[in-house]
C-alpha cells in the first residue's frame, strides 16, 4: 500500500512529464494516467501506466530478381541485391498485371522478417 506522500510524489512526476511533452501528441496518454492516479487517491489502487505507441520505422524498398517461381503452388523466391533470398507468396504481388512472375524478372519489394526467415511484401515490377 502506498502512502499519501508517495502518491503525491507520483502525481507531481506525472504532471511534470505532462508539461514536458505537451504538443507532441503523447499528452493524451499521460493525461489518462493522471486521471487514473487521481481516481487511485480515492480507491487506493495502483494505476497501470500506459506507454505511448511505438513508432514504426520506415521500411526501405529493395531491388532484386525472381530466383524461381512455381505458378501451380503460388510461391517462389526473390534473390535480393543485398545477397539475401526472400520468400514470395502470390498474395504479396502488388499489381493486377503482375500475377505470374518469371525467373530473372527484376522486381521492387519490401523485406520483412518472418518466423521461418525473410519474406518479400508489396512486390511490384521494376
What pLDDT sits at residue 88?
Answer: 93
pLDDT digits (tens, 9 = 90+) for 110-125: 998 888 889 999 999 8
What pLDDT sits at residue 9?
Answer: 82
pLDDT digits (tens, 9 = 90+) for 50-89: 665 555 554 688 999 999 999 899 999 999 998 999 999 9
What pLDDT sits at residue 3?
Answer: 74
pLDDT digits (tens, 9 = 90+) for 22-43: 655 554 555 666 666 666 666 5
What pLDDT sits at residue 27?
Answer: 47
Domain with CATH 2.40.50.140 in the chain: 61-125
Confidence band, pLDDT 50/70/90 cuts, at residue 94: confident
* Strand 106-113 with 61-70, pairing: antiparallel
CATH, range 61-125: 2.40.50.140
Closest CA to 90 of 79, 82, 81, 78: 78
Centre a 10 Å sphere on the Cβ of residue 76 and count the other Cβ atoms it contains: 20
SS3 63: strand
Amino acid at each position: 500500500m502506498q502512502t499519501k506522500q508517495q502518491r503525491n510524489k507520483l502525481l507531481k512526476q506525472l504532471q511534470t512529464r505532462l508539461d514536458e511533452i505537451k504538443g507532441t501528441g503523447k499528452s493524451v496518454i499521460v493525461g489518462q494516467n493522471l486521471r487514473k492516479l487521481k481516481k487511485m487517491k480515492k480507491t487506493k489502487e495502483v494505476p497501470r501506466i500506459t506507454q505511448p505507441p511505438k513508432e514504426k520505422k520506415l521500411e526501405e524498398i529493395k531491388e532484386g530478381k525472381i530466383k524461381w517461381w512455381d505458378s501451380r503452388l503460388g510461391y517462389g523466391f526473390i534473390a535480393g541485391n543485398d545477397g539475401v533470398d526472400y520468400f514470395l507468396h502470390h498474395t504479396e504481388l502488388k499489381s493486377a498485371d503482375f500475377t505470374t512472375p518469371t525467373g530473372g524478372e527484376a522486381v521492387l519489394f519490401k523485406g520483412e522478417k518472418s518466423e521461418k526467415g525473410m519474406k518479400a511484401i508489396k512486390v511490384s515490377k521494376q
